[in-house]
Amino acid sequence: MRVLITGATGLIGNEIVKRCHTSGIAVNYLTTRRTKISADANYKGFFWNPENNEINVNCIKGVDAIIHLAGASISKRWTTDYKKLIFDSRVKSTELLFNTLKNNEHNVTHMISGSAIGIYPKSLTNYYSEEETQVNSSFLGDVVKQWETSVVSFSSLNITVSKIRIGLVLSNKGGALPQMAKPVRYGFGANMGAGKQWVSWIHLGDLSKLFLYVLENKLEGVYNGVAPNPATNKEFNKAIAKQLKKPLILPNIPKFMMRLLLGEMHMLLFESQRVSSKKIENSGFNFKYFNLNSALESLL
Ligand SMILES: NC(=O)c1ccc[n+]([C@@H]2O[C@H](COP(=O)([O-])OP(=O)(O)OC[C@H]3O[C@@H](n4cnc5c(N)ncnc54)[C@H](OP(=O)(O)O)[C@@H]3O)[C@@H](O)[C@H]2O)c1
């Protein structure tokens, strides 16, 4: 089997590439950085620039499935121009992949796209399954909705479509955890607001395993990519502090302060989505990291 991965050079993509190679799956990948192009038979890079509709169509040669993860980081200040990049890098890139398959011969039968739990409305009480139809009314909710909608079009090409709604990915190589752990490590850890907001997390190892599981079992439809036990922001900080053997002594940080500091993206720290992993578990998937403490123990 050969898969084409977009975003293969990123935190999640890189881990999926490793897992593909362990499972004997060859990888083609698309990158916007020419310096990242490798010519290895099992890891062949191709240039694309979704902003300009530019793609090396050789990328689909011999490919059976696509894993689509490309997207500009959401943890940079959301200026008007940057918001456009966040949107285009996900939606325009999906459209470019669609047109590439539509206009060229190929053997692709499965499209697995990344998505995000940010599609679910903010709530302290709801427990979200994939059946939820309400969409978060924020900028990110809109991006994720449009991203998912653009992915659905692949079914018109007789391609099985899967969408993984990814939660907060825990890794020691990047992403949110090192940023969350840093203030706690130096004794400045504090809850965001009342700390009651839900954080639906997943260990990077489990997430990459989940993508391969969906690929190898050709599971169709939407699946939440979160661990079975979400935690509140307060529980999260407490678990990090426990792991690092540091006290949490500072008062909670009010929302307005983070808004002044970060602008609109401060909302990322106050979002609250308690998301269920039941659907993927019921399909037979086994998590290695069920609880936050064991996940943090392996990472910090
Ligand atoms: N990490 C999380 O906690 C999390 C949670 C929910 C959802 N997600 C979503 O999952 C996907 C992968 O996340 P990640 O954490 O692995 O992100 P990441 O480390 O920032 O990697 C993103 C990848 O996207 C590509 N990219 C960046 N800007 C691009 C642009 N303008 N046009 C096309 N490609 C671009 C980059 O590849 P090149 O530089 O090689 O082109 C990069 O490897 C993202 O869409 C993200 O929103 C992540």
pLDDT for 85-110, tens place per residue?
Answer: 999 999 999 999 999 999 999 999 99
Q: In the chain, what percentage of residues exceed pLDDT 70?
A: 100
The protein residue whose alpha carbon is closest to atom 23 in ligand 1 is 7
Q: Ligand 1 — pocket residues by CB below 6 A?
A: 7, 9-13, 31-33, 36, 50, 69-74, 85, 89, 93, 114, 116, 166, 168-169, 175-176
Mean of pLDDT values over 208-217: 98
- Give the confidence band of 259 by pLDDT, cuts at 50, 70, 90: confident
What separation in Å is there between the alpha carbon of 219 and the centre of ligand 1? 23
Q: What is the mean pLDDT of residues 269-295?
A: 97
* Residue-level pLDDT at 86: 97
Work out the pLDDT band at 261, boundaries 50, 70, 90. confident
The percent of residues in the chain predicted with pLDDT above 90, rounded, is: 95
Contacts of 14 (CB under 8 A, 6+ apart): 8
Residue 7 CA, chain-centre distance (Å), reads 10
Q: What is the mean pLDDT of residues 187-198?
A: 94
pLDDT one-digit tens code per residue, 16-58: 999 999 999 999 999 999 999 999 999 999 999 999 999 999 9
pTM above 0.95, yes or no: yes
pLDDT at 249: 87
Atom of ligand 1 nearest to the CA of 176: 3
Q: What's the CA-to-centroid distance between 187 and ligand 1, angstroms?
A: 31
The pLDDT of residue 287: 98
